[in-house]
Amino acid sequence: MNFLQMSARRRLWSTIAAVVLGAAASTAQAQEWPSKPVRIVVGGPAGGTADALARIVAEGLGQSTGKPVIVEAKPGAAGAIAVAELLKSPHDGHTLLLIQGGIVTETPQAYPVTYKPFSDLKPLVQVSRQGLILLGNADLAPRNLKELVAHIKSQKGGMDYASYATGMRGHTSGVQFARLAKVELKHIGYKGSPPALQDVMGGHVPLMFDGPATALPLVKAGKVKAFAVNFPARITALPDVPTFTELGYPALNEVGWMGLWSTADLSATIQSKVRELTLQYLQQAKVRQRIEAMGMEAGLPLTPDELSKDLRAGYERQGELLRSIQYKPE
Burial of 189 (0-12, 13-18, 19+ CB in 10 A): middle
* pLDDT score for 32: 86
> From CA 231, how far away is CA 49, in angstroms rounded?
18
Domain span(s) for CATH 3.40.190.150 in the chain: 37-130+255-324
Pair type for strands 185-189 and 133-137? unpaired
Write out the residue limits of the CATH 3.40.190.10 domain(s) in the chain: 133-252
The one-digit pLDDT tens for each residue of the chain (330 residues) are 554 455 556 665 555 544 444 444 445 555 689 999 999 999 988 888 899 999 999 999 999 999 999 999 999 888 999 999 999 999 999 999 999 999 999 999 999 999 999 999 999 999 999 999 999 999 999 999 999 999 999 999 999 999 998 999 999 999 999 999 999 999 999 988 889 999 999 999 999 999 998 899 999 999 999 999 999 999 999 999 999 999 999 999 889 999 999 999 999 999 999 999 999 999 999 999 999 999 999 999 999 999 999 999 999 999 999 999 999 877
Sorted by sequence, the CB contacts under 8 Å of residue 242 that are 6+ apart come out as 145, 228, 229, 234
Q: How far apart are CA 251 and CA 267, in angstroms?
A: 39
Q: Please, are residues 110 and 187 in contact by the beta-carbon 8 Å criterion?
A: no
Q: Is 327 left (phi over 0), alpha (psi -120 to 50) or beta?
A: beta
pLDDT score at 205: 98
Angle in degrees, 0-180, between the axes of helices 285-292 and 49-65, rounded to the nearest 10: 170
Is the domain spanning 133-252 CATH 3.40.190.10? The answer is: yes
pTM of the predicted structure, to 2 decimals: 0.84
CA distance 181 to 135: 16
**Does the domain formed by 37-130+255-324 have CATH 3.30.70.20?**
no
